[in-house]
Amino acid sequence: MDGVIALYKERGMTSHDCISKLRKILHTKKVGHTGTLDPNVDGVLPICIGQATKISELLMQSGKVYRGAITLGVAYDSEDLDGHLIEQVPVKTPLTDEQINAALAQLTGDILQTPPMYSAVKVNGHKLYEYARKGITIDRDPRRIRIDYFKQIKPATYDDAAHTQTIYFEVGCSKGTYVRTLAVDFGKRVGLPSVMSDLTRIKSGGFDISQTSTLAQVKEAVAAEDLSIVLHPLSEALAEYPGYQLDDSRWSIVSHGGFLDQSISPTHAPVVRLDYQQQVKALYRLDEQIGQYRPFRMFLA
């Protein structure tokens, strides 16, 4: 039982809740996620099973795509609606599309972002949210992130009664990006308090939301004794890496952890997927100092 379940994480659940439930459903402890997703956020959460736990870190490095909403006119201490209201300023004149697009464009490219206090980042051995719950604010170093794009996906709406405006967006970003903080930074660009009022992750680890399965569907697949319905094989999870089909002699070398020459990749790709008898057996990484490929991740069991 090796592969990746592209889980649809429902709202109200933590990523660790998902891991715990899957361990019970699948009757295995070899289950690992590829980065957490806040309880109030739904969407794609790739879960690695068996040998695939060895690629959790690789999937974690991939870019992510989110769709959500930013509401202008209110601010919360948690930067989302789970926290406490800390500021309220009426939006007297709704932003135009031109103003919205200009502010979104300012938050693209390589930028520095300071992690929010309500986050799991550790400082002096404690998570930031532990300090935040005690009313303590800690100095945080900004981190470099990449925002590939940040765009509107439908017209903004204005609430006449609440005097707030809501903007609907899609963002493609790097690992480590706090979309909540992007929402707050957007508000700063336009001079208004703001909050991330909705968020769904639609792509992560190379899987999009159309490929996801719910916990209920995983349970049904186990009952039907057909995990192929929900389990994506290693070959699919590692499809981005150029593949090389091993013959018997080279399989013998790989099975003993040996090195391979550069002929396995005419383009000298940094990482090559090695297959034997239609199964992924290893990822090999080019060691430029010795001009050979050496083991990077092994799936020999």
Asked if residue 81 lies in contact with residue 199, where contact means CB atoms within 8 angstroms, the answer is no
Percent of the chain with pLDDT over 90: 78
pTM: 0.90
Task: Give the SS3 label for residue 244.
Answer: strand
Number of residues assigned to the chain: 301
- Residue 117, pLDDT above cutoff 80: no
Residue 301 — pLDDT band, cuts 50, 70, 90? low
In the 8-state DSSP scheme, what is residue 269?
-
Mean pLDDT computed over 183-203: 97
The pLDDT score that the predictor gives to residue 88 is 96
> Which of 198, 171, 191, 37 minimizes the C-alpha distance to 113?
171
Q: Which CATH number fits domain 241-298: 3.30.390.10, 2.30.130.10, 1.20.80.30, 3.40.50.300?
A: 2.30.130.10
CATH code 3.30.2350.10 region(s) in the chain: 3-62+205-234, 64-202
CATH code 2.30.130.10 region(s) in the chain: 241-298
Q: How far apart are the C-alpha atoms of 217 and 244, rounded to whole Å?
A: 34
Question: What is the pairing mode between strands 164-173 and 64-72?
Answer: antiparallel
pLDDT tens, residue by residue, 149-183: 999 999 999 999 999 999 999 999 999 899 999 99
- Residue 55, pLDDT above cutoff 70: yes
Q: Check residues 1 and 78 and name the one with the higher pLDDT.
A: 78
- 78 token code pair: 């948690």
DSSP per residue, 185-235? HHHHHHTS-EEEEEEEEEEETTEEGGG-B-HHHHHHHHHTT-GGGTEEPHH
pLDDT tens, residue by residue, 86-116: 999 999 999 999 999 999 999 999 999 888 7
> Which of 33, 114, 118, 130 minimizes the C-alpha distance to 79?
118
User: Using only C-alpha atoms, what is the Rg of the chain?
Assistant: 22
CATH class of 64-202: alpha beta
**CATH level 2 (architecture), domain 3-62+205-234:** 2-Layer Sandwich (3.30)
Identified catalytic residue from 38, 80, 185, 198 = 38
Residue listed under structure tokens 């590829």: 34
Mean pLDDT computed over 135-155: 91
Q: How far apart are the C-alpha atoms of 3 and 62, rounded to whole Å?
A: 17
Is 80 known to be catalytic? Answer: no
